[in-house]
Amino acid sequence: MTTIRLTAAQAMVRYLAAQLNEDGVPFLDGIWAIFGHGNVAGLGEALYAERESFRTYRGHNEQTMAHAAIAYAKQSGRKRAMAVTSSIGPGATNMVTAAALAHVNRLPLLLIPGDVFAGRGPDPVLQQVENFNDGTISANDCFKPVSRYFDRITRPEQLLTALPRAFRTMTDPTDCGPVTLAFCQDVQAEAYDWPEAFFEPRTWYIRRALPDARELAHAAELIRAAKKPVIVAGGGVHYSGACDALRAFAETHQIPVVESQAGKSALAWDHPLNLGPVGVTGAGSANEICTDADVVLGVGTRFQDFTTGSWNLFQNPARKLISLNVAAYDAMKHGAEPLCCDALIGLEQLSEALGDHCAEAPSSALKKAWFAAVDPLTAAPRDDIQSPSDQHVIGAVQRSSGPDTVVMCAAGTMPGELHKLWKAPRPGAYHMEYGYSCMGYEIAGAMGIKMAQPDREVICMIGDGSYMMANSELATAAMLGIDMTVVITDNRGYGCINRLQMGTGGAEFNNLLDHSYHVNPANIDFAAHAASMGAASVHVSSITELEDALQRSKSAKGPFVIVIDTDPYPSTPDGGFWWDVAVPEVSAREEVRAKRAEYEKQIKARALN
């Protein structure tokens, strides 16, 4: 066996660069890095040496670098990913939130935080968390509950098993999620004689699991017997590349489709069988179909509360749930009949099993009524209004967008409004991080999307609150020459939570800036802030000005930030479904007591489901 003498860090970088995906391109696009003690001397030296074959990107915050990496992976349909490395201690724990985000959303991400000295000679080192009763614990143990695979590299040769496991996890559709390889800093610098074969290029295929014959037959039997079936399309449809298969299945068997946040854009918005978004932020058309459905076929969905109206949506007492999911964990949820397999293969085989069976197509009146109700909300206002709504902003952005546009968002008012109102023309046109709904994903995420798909126009919708939480990768986007449009809706605070507070009977408190304890009124100049980081920016005062700015943004180079003041109170009244947010049983406020009574009715209704 020929060997090569390298440090553990050098070996890791060589290995990372040699892993390919099924299209023959590197699985990892590169690595985001902020150095400190814990990675600068070891991994930093190794990355420098390989800088031509494996790119290192410098960001401004470990969490948001990881957000960029996650968005990259999501937009790549999990076929490509990025790594992120940090120093030990705060740099590392900054990434824990991002690990959780990737974990919830089932997205590949390779985190390489530096770790304390395996040899413990200089202990305690700067930033070392000392545990009094357990010598093996470091700050990086925080990653364990939010990693699909965690390993601490305390000897160089552990990489021979840890690295293949890392790629196995990231490319396994069932287990896909974040991997944390906590890399002890003395080990990074230590040499070992590595088998050269370890660094040969290796291709990682994403396995397509076939259905079990009994599960398939049972699912087909249930669908055949159904009078009012519906398909709930989730993110798994996209990750499996099953959007065409879904359309063919729906058309052949005339079964309506509704879409979760992660599933949206699986079918074009104007396809007659796309009944629209489902659940808490769903369309009236979709929710009406689901309320009555006797068979609900989930495809690649986790059935989270926003999708199921906190499990109050599917009200037909005779309804059966089938969950077609690659993960048995999801396929068994809430008493579902499992169809545990890849979405594309599962839909094809289910279709074959159903033959020419056809359900009764849904009436087109439902969709017509929905658009008749909501289209006026996004229409250009006849006269310029003082304080436009977020719906007006969505309308303007929609009018300026084309088939190559990707609209993206994560938290605040916009996700719900976009789920209801955005008209996604094709798969990938809608990128919503609504598994973890993490404020601060947006700007870094938009950058990651553009890096994944440079030919598409990326529009980031972000509230003032999310912008304030994490905006520093705007400077990175400027530095990397990333063309993207950022629309900041400034409603002076946490508008959606303020409405939720009112909706649960609470007084308006600590959400909008003006309702929060202050000595001086807040006055943030977002356009000036963005400009200071190297972005082109403009504050617009009307929807007409917004439309002009959106046109200008198309030929702009680098990030282009548009700020518009919006009204924090309106949200789309039509559609939607109950969301379980616990209301206090005891309160001095009459409004809370009234909301509690309503709440108890909903809880009872769920018990009957």
Ligand X SMILES: Cc1ncc(C[n+]2csc(CCOP(=O)(O)OP(=O)(O)O)c2C)c(N)n1
Q: Which residues bind ligand X (CB under 6 A)?
A: 411-413, 437-440, 463-466, 489, 491, 493-497
DSSP state of 512: B
CA–CA separation, 307 and 295 (whole Å): 16
State the binding partner of 160 from Mg ion, ligand X, none, CB within 5 to 8 A by kind: none
Backbone φ and ψ of 225, nearest 5°: -85, -10
Q: In the bound complex, what is the minimum distance in angstroms from residue 138's beta carbon to ligand X?
A: 24
- In which element (H, E) is residue 497 found? helix 495-503
Among 89, 463, 559, 576, binds Mg ion (CB under 5 A): 463
CA–CA separation, 425 and 409 (whole Å): 17
State the binding partner of 438 from ligand X, Mg ion, none, CB within 5 to 8 A by kind: ligand X
Q: In the bound complex, what is the minimum distance in angstroms from residue 94's beta carbon to ligand X?
A: 13
What sign does the dihedral 123-128-131-136 (CA atoms) show?
Answer: negative
Nearer to ligand X, 391 or 413 (CB): 413
State the binding partner of 178 from Mg ion, ligand X, none, CB within 5 to 8 A by kind: none
Q: In the bound complex, what is the minimum distance in angstroms from residue 439's beta carbon to Mg ion?
A: 10
By CB under 5 A, is residue 416 in contact with Mg ion?
A: no
DSSP state of 333: G
Stretch that binds Mg ion, among 3-11, 39-47, 73-81, 464-472 (CB under 5 A): 464-472
Stretch that binds Mg ion, among 60-68, 486-494, 515-523, 573-581 (CB under 5 A): 486-494
Q: In the bound complex, what is the minimum distance in angstroms from residue 437's beta carbon to ligand X?
A: 5
Q: In the bound complex, what is the minimum distance in angstroms from residue 421's beta carbon to ligand X?
A: 14
State the binding partner of 439 from ligand X, Mg ion, none, CB within 5 to 8 A by kind: ligand X
> What is the DSSP track for 388-449?
--HHHHHHHHHHH--TTEEEEE-SSHHHHHHHHH----STTSEEE--SS--TT-HHHHHHHH
Coil, helix or strand at residue 463: strand
By CB under 5 A, is residue 415 in contact with Mg ion?
A: no
Residues β-bridged to residue 30 = 55
Stretch that binds Mg ion, among 305-313, 392-400, 491-499, 549-557 (CB under 5 A): 491-499
By CB under 5 A, is residue 465 in contact with Mg ion?
A: yes
State the binding partner of 497 from Mg ion, ligand X, none, CB within 5 to 8 A by kind: ligand X
Backbone φ and ψ of 579, nearest 5°: -125, 130
- The CA distances from residue 349 to 75, 304, 355, in Å, are 27, 26, 10
- The CA distances from residue 449 to 57, 76, 409, in Å, are 15, 8, 11
β 295-299/320-325 pair status: parallel
Q: In the bound complex, what is the minimum distance in angstroms from residue 350's beta carbon to Mg ion?
A: 43
State the binding partner of 411 from Mg ion, ligand X, none, CB within 5 to 8 A by kind: ligand X
Stretch that binds Mg ion, among 227-235, 426-434, 456-464, 591-599 (CB under 5 A): 456-464
The residue whose Cβ lies closest to ligand X is: 463
| Residue 295 CA to its chain's centroid (Å) | 28
Structure tokens at 166: 């890392």
State the binding partner of 234 from ligand X, Mg ion, none, CB within 5 to 8 A by kind: none
Nearer to Mg ion, 86 or 466 (CB): 466
Tell me how many residues contact Mg ion (CB under 5 A).
Answer: 5
- Write out the residues near Mg ion by the rule CB under 5 A: 463-465, 491, 495
